A = this chain, B = another copy of it.
């Protein structure tokens, strides 16, 4: 067996980026004709087959689903994987997990590796760097080659495929409504930078709820955390940042945080400043993880139902794989079968605990 060359090796040999190679091989217009020709010629010489996904699909089913997630130390993603596994095992499929570590290049490398005959389709959540770059050519290429993708949680309109999302917008409206209805007048939002779609939607939900109640949205009460830092650096900075935020905004009587860690950190800071939860400040977090249940006071949260998201995503992918199989047998046109992508919205639930009145 001749050694198969990888995108990474082509990139190294020609001294270009992995993403340039990946784009050139999928005939992206972003890459100059010269470069595209050079890369394609080189790939051909070394027997690189950008279409071997489709080839392998025609000839065998692996009965394996590839999951690609941005981060492993993350309770939400873990519960999604549990849901995927549950359905996959029931329906006779195995799963395998790749990690992008929030990196665009690692996302491409992992997709190439998994797509190379190991799996039948992908369930994935997009890395932050990819969202920041807004470069989705590797998803398009994979789908065009006949391998289905189901996106979950972090999804984009530009990629045409089945999707499973939580209702981030409505979930946030629910949370902020709860704070308003229990008397909060100055509600702070602790969120991420806007390029992460879920952070953006949750921010919009916060603003919507305020507007519905004719409350003024004070931009000073919105703290945007730069979570592109290393996890360890983040933890050190986070508490300081939140503490400074509370010190300059003494009137805060309610906090909505877009994730559990931000919410628990806010509770810690509030206590440190000698204030009582929920009497002086009420706190709600998005994401119902293990921290929320065991925190003291226990944290009121918007539950995302990670396991349900995983179950639904697995069902969508396997349905499509098995429909494709049927339809291949019946010689149905490609153009027919790739239509009608579904976006399933999983409703959130407000789980009331002791951090709110």
Chain A residues packing against B (C-beta within 8 Å): 1-4, 55-56, 59-60, 62, 64, 72-75, 78-79, 81-82, 85, 89, 94-99, 101, 106, 109-110, 113-114, 118, 264, 268, 290-291, 294-296
Contacts and interface: CB of A to CB of B under 8 A. Distances in A.
Given A1-B59, A98-B97, A296-B296, A73 B64 contact: no
Nearest to A55: B1
A95 B96 CA distance: 11
From A98, A101, A290, A294, residue with most partner B Cβ within 10 Å: A294
B85 A78 contact: no
Contacts of A296: 295-296
A82 B72 contact: yes
B294 A264 contact: yes
A113 B64 contact: yes
Nearest to A98: B96
5 contacts: A1-B55, A1-B56, A73-B81, A81-B99, A85-B99
A273 B257 CA distance: 33
A113 B94 contact: yes
Contact of A73 (B55, B79, B109, B110): B79
B85 A3 contact: no
Nearest to A114: B96
From A64, A114, A290, A291, residue with most partner B Cβ within 10 Å: A290
Contacts of A99: 81, 85, 95, 97
Contacts of A114: 96
A4 to B, nearest CB: 7
A325 to B, nearest CB: 13
A22 B1 CA distance: 25
